[in-house]
Chain A
Amino acid sequence: MTAQEIKQALEKDGLGAGLTLFEGPKDPALVVPREQLLKVARHLRDARHLAFDLLIMVTGTHMIEKRDAKGVVLREPGFELIYHVRSVKNRALVAFKVKLPIGDPTVDSVSSIWPAADWHERETFDLVGITFKGHPDLRRILLPDDWEGHPLRKDYAYPKAYRDINLEVDPPWPTP
């Protein structure tokens, strides 16, 4: 099943509001508006002809502004979440994206639909800083609980120390 076919199936089932297709070089993906996420996700899992039951991963990316040579804005700053889900019965993989504005990186949690999303969303919160509403236990998972900052943001500055531990990058050995 290609992304185009899934989009048509969703539109036929009445959930096509605001759905667009990201043609993008290489892998097409559905773009779902933030408000529709839970409804679309639940339908993707429960509908008999779709049956996307194995959540593969949830990825968050910090998108910085991109301008071309003339200064025309090619991409607004923001966050992008992409969900990959497999269907065991139909041997298919669907990728759907949610775009978030830079000032408000919050989105609904799909952990009630796919329990696998629990840890993936905790990791996205930890490293990128996207908050998931309705998540049962949103706290840092990979970094220590009192770490400051979200490392996978493009403007992250590496810390010099954590509590008393020195984390500085050693300067290269001086050549004689």
Chain B
Amino acid sequence: MGLFERSLPDVHFLKLADAAIDWGRESSLWPMTFGSACCAIEMMAVGASKFDLDRFGAGAFRATPRQADLMIVAGTVNAKMALVVRRLYDQMPEPKYVMAMGACTVGGGPYWKHGYNVVKGIDKFVPVDVHVPGCPPRPEAIIEGIRFLQRKIRAKRVLTRGLDGTPDLAGVSVSPGTVGILDPTVRPAAPPPVPLAAGSKA
């Protein structure tokens, strides 16, 4: 729910402030360097000079979750690693976004059938904002994923959401049939936090 919902009439200034806040958030997404497997190499390639993620504002890869907004989970997550991923997600301050990069994080990837300790999709324990398929996804696909996330953030309108009842989709392209994807009021439900068992060394 928006901050000023139902307390102030529709004020043009708040819409401008909203646009500024969302623009600031989307243009400086700082990813956390968190790659586990092959997709991490493509993430490094997208940060390198040929595909240059920095021109979208997302070039400052921070090693610590405390300073990052975006956790790009690149690579297969297995049972031992899932506890660590969840802990890192909990350590990130709000607003935080999660990108599931690569087929393994989307639904298990090639290990969906015989991987006895592979978690089949990270949305089983962290809420995911954008899924990028591919094995590994091309750097162009990762950039498209970042831009999709930027469109999603642009539609969030922190201050004035809900004031006039409908989400503001001006400037956001929606292809017919994709109802609900860009609806900012729909956020994937966070799963219950995984209790870290005693003696876990992560």
- Contact surface of A with B, Cβ cutoff 8 Å: 143-144, 146-147, 151, 156, 158-159, 162-170
Interface string of B104-139 (1 = CB under 8 A from A): 000110001110111111001100000000000000
Are the CB atoms of A159 and B116 closer together than 8 Å? yes
- Give, as a whole number of angstroms, the nearest-CB distance from B79 to chain A: 4
Interface of A is mostly: loop
Known: A144-B80, A165-B124, A170-B108. A158 touches B116 (CB 8 A): yes
**Which of chain A's residues have a CB closer than 8 A to the CB of B124?**
165-166
Are the CB atoms of A163 and B194 closer together than 8 Å? yes
Closest 8 CB pairs of A and B: A162-B79, A158-B116, A144-B80, A165-B82, A166-B124, A164-B194, A170-B120, A165-B79
- Give, as a whole number of angstroms, the nearest-CB distance from B181 to chain A: 18
Between B79, B119, B124, the greatest number of chain A beta carbons within 10 A of the residue's beta carbon is seen for B79
Q: Kindly state the separation between the CA atoms of A151 and B78 in the bound complex, as whole angstroms.
A: 15
**Which of chain B's residues have a CB closer than 8 A to the CB of A162?**
79, 117
CB contact between A167 and one of B79, B107, B113, B197 (< 8 Å): that residue: B79
Are the CB atoms of B120 and A144 closer together than 8 Å? no
Q: Does B195 contact A (CB under 8 A)?
A: yes
Are the CB atoms of A165 and B116 closer together than 8 Å? no
**Which of chain A's residues have a CB closer than 8 A to the CB of B112?**
169-170
Q: Kindly state the separation between the CA atoms of A146 and B82 in the bound complex, as whole angstroms.
A: 15
Q: What residue in chain B is nearest A151 (Cβ atoms)?
A: B116
Q: Kindly state the separation between the CA atoms of A24 and B79 in the bound complex, as whole angstroms.
A: 39
Q: What residue in chain A is nearest B196 (Cβ atoms)?
A: A163
Known: A163-B194, A165-B82, A170-B107. A156 touches B120 (CB 8 A): no
- Give, as a whole number of angstroms, the nearest-CB distance from B46 to chain A: 28
CB contact between B116 and one of A156, A164, A166 (< 8 Å): that residue: A156
Besides A159-B117, A163-B79, 13 new A-B residue pairs in contact (Cβ under 8 A), listed by A number? A143-B117, A144-B80, A146-B197, A147-B117, A151-B116, A165-B83, A165-B124, A167-B79, A167-B116, A167-B118, A169-B113, A170-B108, A170-B120
CB contact between A144 and one of B79, B113, B114, B125 (< 8 Å): that residue: B79
**Which of chain A's residues have a CB closer than 8 A to the CB of B108?**
169-170
